[in-house]
Amino acid sequence: MTQASSVDYRTLELKLLNIWIPAVGARTAADFGVKQFETFLAEEIAWVLPELDIKKETIENIFEHHFVEQDHQSSFDTQPPFQLSEAILTGSLSEGIYLPSIEPPDMDFMCVLKNIMFSKKDQEDGCLSLRDDTPFVYAFITNKATQYLWREFYDDAANKEGVYRLSSRKLKEKLHENYQKSGRTIFPFLDNEQLQEVTEGAALTVRASKPSCSLVYYAIVLTKKIFSQPIAELLDTETLEFLHSAFNSDTFFNRKLFSSDIVLSIFCKGWPSCANEWIIRKRLWPDIHSVNKITQGGFHIVPKSSPDGDFRLSFSCAEKMLIKTLIPLQHKVMTAFKAVVKYYQNTCSSNLKEIISSYHLKTIAFWHFEKSSQESWTVGTLVHHLITLLEELAEALRMQSLPMYFMPKFNLLQDVDDPEITLELMEKISQLSQNFSAMSKAVSIYTP
């Protein structure tokens, strides 16, 4: 390694160490608001909280109703069957792997339907057409009472006497219809006329084209409501200058929420038999306690059609629990890996964004963590792990093969149909994995 390379290597190492890790594991909008409040502001104003006797529940209630008011109930009926059980925050925000400075984070929710659920016995009886080689399933209802309740949501073409198959299309159409009728907004601090609704894949996507305020500005407004006197009289000059610079800098503090995916889902107890291999395979991560906890937590199916089924298995909650088991150094490298690839999507190839998604990158990271011992994660090995992740991405592109983490028989890159493009991407990623300066630049832009 040349002297210049050595300097670049050390610079990259320092950049990795300085990556900020957001709060991990938020389940609701209120939970996310509280966690980020604590992350951004609590240290700055901690000295006033005890004096004012402010409780966590008070802050949580404020965020629940003002910060990101998710009135999901208005998109569902008040009477069975199309009712909401709970809205679970999913995606990079809840996992703590969003890129704070440039990529606007989405506020994605998985809305679990009430009045329907698939038990372990239902699955054993074939109500979900589980296969080892695909995450797509058909959902059949055999319970007489449930059959009658959901009769308006069956696939007419597929139904036979005594066999009732749910239609993902009809469920999504109902969600879209209810949302339009409700007249509610996902983000109360955005101008209503700036919102656009489109249906994509499994979700109802709500996009905002012109946000009107920053996350921290809104948090400060809400904080004022909590305090019994103006916040300017409570905070010292240094703190106020810090907050003022935050509002006017191009960091996470001024980044906005641009969209929200509202994904319907149905809860299923136990663990899908097609993913049993994940339970028993040899691994260095996660530990057996975490495996047991994840598999006992159940899974979901979401409406997304394919030739193999009308629904897709969702392991969103399991993935969130996996990320919570990471040590900080692993979390930093995972975030850096995403940052480097995202930043160079346009410079590497215009096709990279279409072929490689955040889910692909998360999958590669999971496979790498599984075969890496905890002892191998030190300050001195961070760059090595980042390079390895990029190399494994390049290899996946070369082979056009990326096994789904929970179901390895399913290839996430099976639909890539242009070998020349993937080979070109492979070469670009390989070159990037040896360019310490370029990686440092990408990481710097995506850190506060």
Architecture of 7-44+326-447 per CATH?
Orthogonal Bundle (1.10)
Q: How many CB atoms lie within 10 A of CB 276?
A: 14
For the segment 290-302, the average pLDDT, to the nearest whole number, is: 97
Residue 310, pLDDT score: 93
Residue 170, pLDDT score: 95
Report the length, in residues, of the chain: 448
For the segment 126-149, the average pLDDT, to the nearest whole number, is: 94
Residue 253, pLDDT score: 38
What is the location of CATH 1.10.1410.40 in the chain? 7-44+326-447
For the segment 200-210, the average pLDDT, to the nearest whole number, is: 62
Q: Which residue has the tokens 């809305």?
A: 111
Helix (H) or strand (E) holding 26: none
Break the chain down into helix, strand, coil percent, rounded to 5: 50, 15, 35
Per residue in 7-64, pLDDT (tens digit) is 899 999 999 998 888 778 888 777 777 776 666 555 545 545 555 455 556 656 655 5
Type of residue numbered 191: D
For the segment 251-266, the average pLDDT, to the nearest whole number, is: 65
Assign 67 a pLDDT band (cuts: 50, 70, 90). very low
Query: Alpha carbon 426 to chain centroid distance?
Result: 26
Assign 271 a pLDDT band (cuts: 50, 70, 90). very high
Residue 222, pLDDT score: 47
**More reliable by pLDDT, 200 or 440:** 440
30, two tokens? 């209120």
Query: Alpha carbon 313 to chain centroid distance?
Result: 15
* Region 52-325: CATH code: 3.30.460.90
For the segment 344-365, the average pLDDT, to the nearest whole number, is: 82
β-partners of residue 205 are 198, 261
Which among 285, 343, 324, 296 has a CA at the least distance from the CA of 26?
Answer: 324
Assign 6 a pLDDT band (cuts: 50, 70, 90). confident
Residue 251, pLDDT score: 42
Residue 378, pLDDT score: 97
Q: How many CB atoms lie within 10 A of CB 99?
A: 22
Q: How many CB atoms lie within 10 A of CB 443?
A: 24
Backbone angles phi, psi at 16, to 5 degrees: -65, -40
Which among 358, 448, 409, 356 has a CA at the least distance from the CA of 135?
Answer: 409
**What one-character-per-residue DSSP string does 268-307 give?**
E-S--GGGHHHHHS--SSS-HHHHHHHHHT-EEEEEEEET
For the segment 138-159, the average pLDDT, to the nearest whole number, is: 90
**More reliable by pLDDT, 68 or 8:** 8
**Mean pLDDT, the chain, as a whole number?**
80
What is the location of CATH 3.30.460.90 in the chain? 52-325
264: exposed, middle or buried (Cβ count in 10 Å: 0-12, 13-18, 19+)? buried
Q: What is the pTM of this model?
A: 0.84
62-66, 136-140, 275-279, 394-398: range with lowest mean pLDDT: 62-66
Residue 254, pLDDT score: 39
